Amino acid sequence: MFPMKMYVGITDYDWYKTLKQANCDEVNFWKPGGRTNFKALNEGDLFLFKTHSPRNYIVGGGFFLKFSILPSSLAWDAFGIANGASSLMELNDRVYKYKKTDRFSDPDPQIGCIILSMPFYFDEKDWIPQPNDWNSNIVQGKTYKTSEPVGLSLYEQKVKMIYIDPPYNTGNDFVYKDDYKDRIENYLEQTEQVDSDGNKMSTNTESNGRYHSDWLNMMYPRLKLARNLLKDDGVIFISIDDHEVAQLRKMCDEVFGENNLVAQLIWQRAFSPKNDAKFVSNSHDYVLMVAKSINCFQIGRLPRTEEANARYSNPDNDPRGPWMSSDISVKTYNAAADYPITLPSGRVVETPGQPYLVWS
Q: Which run of H or E residues covers position 241?
A: none
> How far apart, in whole angstroms, are the C-alpha atoms of residue 70 and residue 88?
13
pLDDT tens digits, residue range 38-68?
999 988 889 999 999 899 999 999 999 899 9
Can you give the pLDDT at residue 182? 35
Q: What percent of the chain has pLDDT over 70?
A: 82
Can you give the pLDDT at residue 272? 83
Confidence of residue 190 (pLDDT cuts 50, 70, 90): very low
First to last CA, the chain: 62
CA angle 47, 53, 55 (to 5 degrees): 75
- Kindly report the average pLDDT of the chain as a whole number: 83
Nearest to 38 by CA among 64, 62, 59: 64
**Which residue did the predictor score with more confidence, 343 or 178?**
343
Question: Alpha helices of 172-290 — where are they, by DSSP H?
Answer: 185-190, 211-229, 245-256
**Which residue did the predictor score with more confidence, 92 or 215?**
92
Question: Is the dihedral angle over the CA atoms 312, 313, 318, 324 positive or is it negative?
Answer: negative
Can you give the pLDDT at residue 173? 47
**Which residue did the predictor score with more confidence, 179 or 201?**
201
pLDDT of 128 above 70: yes
Can you give the pLDDT at residue 210? 60
Can you give the pLDDT at residue 360? 43
pLDDT of 188 above 50: no
Q: In sequence order, what are the residues at sequence separation of 6 or more whose Cβ sits closer than 8 angstroms to the Cβ of residue 116? A: 26, 27, 28, 29, 47, 61, 62, 63, 64, 65
pLDDT of 194 above 70: no
pLDDT tens digits, residue range 214-256?
788 888 888 888 888 888 999 999 999 888 899 999 999 999 9
Residues, the chain: 360
